[in-house]
Structure 1
Amino acid sequence: MLLLRSSFWASLLLAGTLACSKSSAPPTVSPPPPTVPTATSFTNPLLTVGPDPWVIRRGDTYYYMHTTGGNLVIRKTAKMSELGSAVSTVVWSPQQVGSNQREIWAPELHFLDGKWYIYYSANPQCCGGHRIFVLENSSPDPTTGTWVDKGRIAVPGQDVWAIDGTVLEQNGKRYLLWSGHEVAESEVQRLYISEMSNPWTLVGPRVELSNPEYAWERNGNPPVNEGPQILKHADKTFVVYSASHCSTDDYALGLLTASSTADPMQLSSWKKSATPVFVKNPAGQAYGPGHNSFFQSKDGTEDWIIYHANPQPGQGCGDNRSPRMQKFTWKADGTPDFGTPVAVGTALPRPAGE
C-alpha cells in the first residue's frame, strides 16, 4: 500500500469522531508468522493490511478491494486463498482539484447493467463530512479500461454524512443501502435504504432500517450501525452490518432478516436480531471483527465470509486491521451461522474447487 502524505494524516486527525471504521494509521503490531500453508490449506490473515474487505466474483475471477485511504485498488485472482500474491492495480486516484479528495473509504465493486461500478466514501471538504461517490467502467475487466466519475449520490431531500454504500436487487428493483446521520447535528450512524433509478441516482425517499438500539451496538463513541452487506439464501434476504465504534474491540456483526419477496422499503419487512452474530475471539487474535463481505467457493458449494479484525486489543480503526476469511454454514431456521473468528495462523482447507 502506498504511504499517505502527511497532509492526509493531519486532515484525518481533524475528522475526530467522524472518522469511524475507515480511518487509517500505520501498523504498530503485526500478526505472528502464520503456519506454512500446504497445497490444500491456507492461513489467515490473507494480507497484512486490509480494512473493510470487499469481494465479487465474475466468471472464474475474484476481484477484491479494501480501504487504502488515498486511492482505489483492485486485486485480481483466480483463488481467494492466494489473495496475497494477486495482481494489484490502482484503478483510480483523486484529482488535484475536485470534491472527493480525502479519506477514501470502503470501496465496493458491482457489475450492473453490463458495466462495472465502484461505490466509495470520501470527504468532499465542503459539506461537513463524508458522502458516497460512484465510478463507472464499461470494460469487461474492471482492472482495465477507463473509470468515469458519475459524481456524488444525492439523497433526495437530504444532504448529510453518508458512507458504506452497497446495492440490493429485489422484486425487479434496485436499492442503495448505506450508513448515515439522521441530521447534521447527530453523529449516531444509522442504516438507510432508498430506491435507485440507475446505478448512480436515488429516487427517494430515504427509509431508516436500523439504529444502534442495543448495548452491544453502542460500544465506543458515537454509537454505530455501518457496513451493510447483502446475503441471500433460500427464501430470505439478510442485511449483515457492523455495530459499535471501530475504536473498540467489541466491533461486531448484527443481522436484519426479510423475506426474499418482501418490500425492502417497509421497515415492517425486516426483523432485527437482538444479539450479535459474529464477535471477537481474543484467544484467536481477532479483535473487532467486522465490515465483511461474502463470496462462494469456486465450485459454488461453499459460502464464505471475509472480514477484517485486529490481532491485538486496543488497536482501533487503523491499518492493523487485516482481512481474514472462513467458511460458514446455515442454521435450521435458514439464518447464517458464522461461528467464531478462526485463530490467526490456523491451517484451513482452501475453498472447494481451488
Structure 2
Amino acid sequence: MLPVPVRFAVVVSSLASLLGCTKEAIPTLQPAVPTPAATTFTNPLLSSGPDPWVAQKDGFYYFVATNDRNLTIRKTAKMSELGTAYSTVVWTPAASGGNVRHLWAPELYWLDGKWYLYYTAGSSTGGCCASQRLWVLENPSPDPTTGTWTEKGQLLSAGHDYSAIDATVLELGSQRYLLWCGVESTTNSEGRLYISALRNPWTLTGPRTEISRPTYDWERKGPPTNEGPEVLQHNGRTFVTYSASHCMTDDYALGLLTLTGSDPLDAASWTKSARPVFTQNPTGKAFGPGHNGFFKSKDGTQDWLLYHANSLAGQGCGDLRSPRIQPITWRADGTPDFGVPAAVGQPLPRPAGE
C-alpha cells in the first residue's frame, strides 16, 4: 500500500487528468444560423380545391373551396403556404332539405361587422343540377373559423325560383349587389350571368338583370355556359371575370366584363371582351383554368389571381381541379393582364410581404 502522501498525490494527479479530459471534450458552441426563408413557391397549392376563393381580414387569409360534403375554411397568414394552413369544418348540412347536397362555390365576406358565407346547394330530393340554389350563413365572430354559423336562408330573386349557382358580392359606393349564374327559365338550362341589388347581405331586392350569356364560340364548348362571376376593382374601375364554356372541357376559360356605364343593373352598362382573358396552358399542365378569386399581397402592393385548373387533359369537373395563384399586372389602359397559367412546379416569387 502506498503511503498516505503518495496516495493523495496520485488521486490529485488522476483528478486533474480527468478534469482536463472533460474540459477538452466540451465542444465549442457556435451561434445558430437561421435557415433563409423561401422566396419562391410552386403551384398547385393543394392537390384538390375546385372553385377556390379567399377573403382577407386582420392579417389572415381565409380560403374556401368546393368539397360537396361540407363547408370548410383554411386559415393562413401566407397564401403561398396554404398547404400547411389550419383547416376547420364550419358547417355540415342536415340530412334533408333544400340545401343539403352538392355544396359548391362558397365565398366569404365580412359585411356590417359579421361574416357571411354564400354557397350553392341542392335538395335532398332533387337531382343535380336543377335543384341548385343560393344560400347564405351568418357568423358574428371576428374569426370565421370560430363562433357559430346560423342559416339566413335562400337568396331568392322575386319571381325567379330557378336553378342558381356561384353567388358573389359587388360593392359600389354604399350599394351592394349580388351576381350569380342562373337560367332564363325552367326550360332553358344555358348558364347566364345575373345581377340584383341587395337590401341586406341575405335579401335580394328588385328585379334581376341579365348581364352576360354565352354568345362567342369560345363560350360554347360543351353545354354553353357563363358562370363563376368574380369582382375585380382597380383605380376606380370595376371588372367582372367569369368562367366560360363547360367545366367538363379543357376549353373552360376566363372571360371579362367591364362596367362602362353608371348603373350596374342596366345591361347596357357592361361591356364584354370579345376574347377570353385566361386560357389553358397544356405544356404547363394547366387545363380548364377558371372559377377564380382575387386577393391582395401581404403588403397590399400586388393583386393576385386565385383559380383552379386540372393537371391533365380530360379531367373535367371533379376533385382533381387544384388551386393555383399568380400575380396580375395592369396594362397602360387600366385593364388587367392575367398572363398565361403558370406551369406546375415552376418557381414563382412569393406574394410581396411574405
The count of aligned residue pairs is 316
State the Cα distance separating 1:97 from its structure 2 match: 3.4
Counterpart residue identity of residue 244, structure 1: S
Matched, 1:320 2:320: yes
Counterpart residue identity of residue 295, structure 2: F
Query: Which residue in the other structure is 1:88 paired with?
Result: 87
Matched, 1:138 2:137: no
State the Cα distance separating 1:126 from its structure 2 match: 5.4
Output the CA distance in 1 between the equivalents of 2:77 and 2:104. 25
The within-5 A match list for 1:18-29 is: none
Matched, 1:69 2:68: yes
Query: Which residue in the other structure is 1:22 paired with?
Result: none
CA RMSD of aligned residues (A): 1.2
Picking from 143, 154, 157, the partner of 1:155 is 157
Counterpart residue identity of residue 294, structure 2: F
Which has the higher relative contact order, 1 or 2, with Cα contacts under 8 A spaced 6 or more apart? Answer: 1
Output the CA distance in 2 between the equivalents of 1:54 and 1:137. 18
State the Cα distance separating 1:332 from its structure 2 match: 1.2
Query: Which residue in the other structure is 2:344 paired with?
Result: 344
Matched, 1:253 2:254: yes
Query: Which residue in the other structure is 1:280 paired with?
Result: 280
Output the CA distance in 2 between the equivalents of 1:114 and 1:98. 29
Query: Which residue in the other structure is 1:239 paired with?
Result: 240
Output the CA distance in 2 between the equivalents of 1:80 and 1:279. 23
Residue pair 2:280, 2:289 contacting (<8 A) in 1 also: yes
Counterpart residue identity of residue 152, structure 1: Q
Output the CA distance in 2 between the equivalents of 1:87 and 1:283. 33
Picking from 169, 176, 200, the partner of 1:167 is 169
Output the CA distance in 2 between the equivalents of 1:338 and 1:319. 24
State the Cα distance separating 1:38 from its structure 2 match: 6.7
Per-residue Cα deviation, 1:131-173 (whole angstroms, up to 9, x for no partner): 0000000001000000000111111111100000000011321
Query: Which residue in the other structure is 2:117 paired with?
Result: 118
Residue pair 2:96, 2:123 contacting (<8 A) in 1 also: no
Output the CA distance in 1 between the equivalents of 2:327 and 2:38. 18
Q: Secondary structure at the match of 2:207?
A: coil
Query: Which residue in the other structure is 1:292 paired with?
Result: 292
Output the CA distance in 2 between the equivalents of 1:238 and 1:79. 26
Counterpart residue identity of residue 322, structure 1: S
| More moved, 164-173 vs 275-284 | 164-173
Matched, 1:196 2:198: yes
Query: Which residue in the other structure is 1:228 paired with?
Result: 229
Query: Which residue in the other structure is 2:332 paired with?
Result: 332
Query: Which residue in the other structure is 2:271 paired with?
Result: 271
Counterpart residue identity of residue 187, structure 1: S
Output the CA distance in 2 between the equivalents of 1:191 and 1:206. 10
Output the CA distance in 2 between the equivalents of 1:174 and 1:125. 31
Output the CA distance in 2 between the equivalents of 1:100 and 1:247. 24
Output the CA distance in 2 between the equivalents of 1:200 and 1:125. 22
Counterpart residue identity of residue 107, structure 1: P
Output the CA distance in 2 between the equivalents of 1:116 and 1:171. 20
Counterpart residue identity of residue 248, structure 1: T
State the Cα distance separating 1:320 from its structure 2 match: 1.0
Picking from 216, 219, 240, the partner of 2:218 is 216
Output the CA distance in 2 between the equivalents of 1:183 and 1:334. 37
Residue pair 2:45, 2:324 contacting (<8 A) in 1 also: yes
The within-5 A match list for 1:39-50 is: 39-50=38-49
Give the TM-score normalised by structure 1. 0.88
Counterpart residue identity of residue 233, structure 2: K
State the Cα distance separating 1:95 from its structure 2 match: 1.2
Output the CA distance in 1 between the equivalents of 2:124 and 2:203. 22
Per-residue Cα deviation, 1:67-91 (whole angstroms, up to 9, x for no partner): 0011000000000000000000000
State the Cα distance separating 1:125 from its structure 2 match: 3.8
| More moved, 164-173 vs 281-290 | 164-173
Q: Secondary structure at the match of 1:203?
A: strand
Q: Check 1:126–1:206 CA distance in 2 against 1; reply closer, same or farther (3 A cut).
A: farther
Query: Which residue in the other structure is 2:5 paired with?
Result: none
| Largest Rg, 1 or 2 | 2
Output the CA distance in 2 between the equivalents of 1:55 and 1:84. 14
Output the CA distance in 1 between the equivalents of 2:182 and 2:48. 26
Output the CA distance in 2 between the equivalents of 1:136 and 1:154. 17
Output the CA distance in 1 between the equivalents of 2:159 and 2:172. 24
Output the CA distance in 1 between the equivalents of 2:265 and 2:156. 18
Query: Which residue in the other structure is 2:303 paired with?
Result: 303
Q: Secondary structure at the match of 2:306?
A: strand
Query: Which residue in the other structure is 2:9 paired with?
Result: none
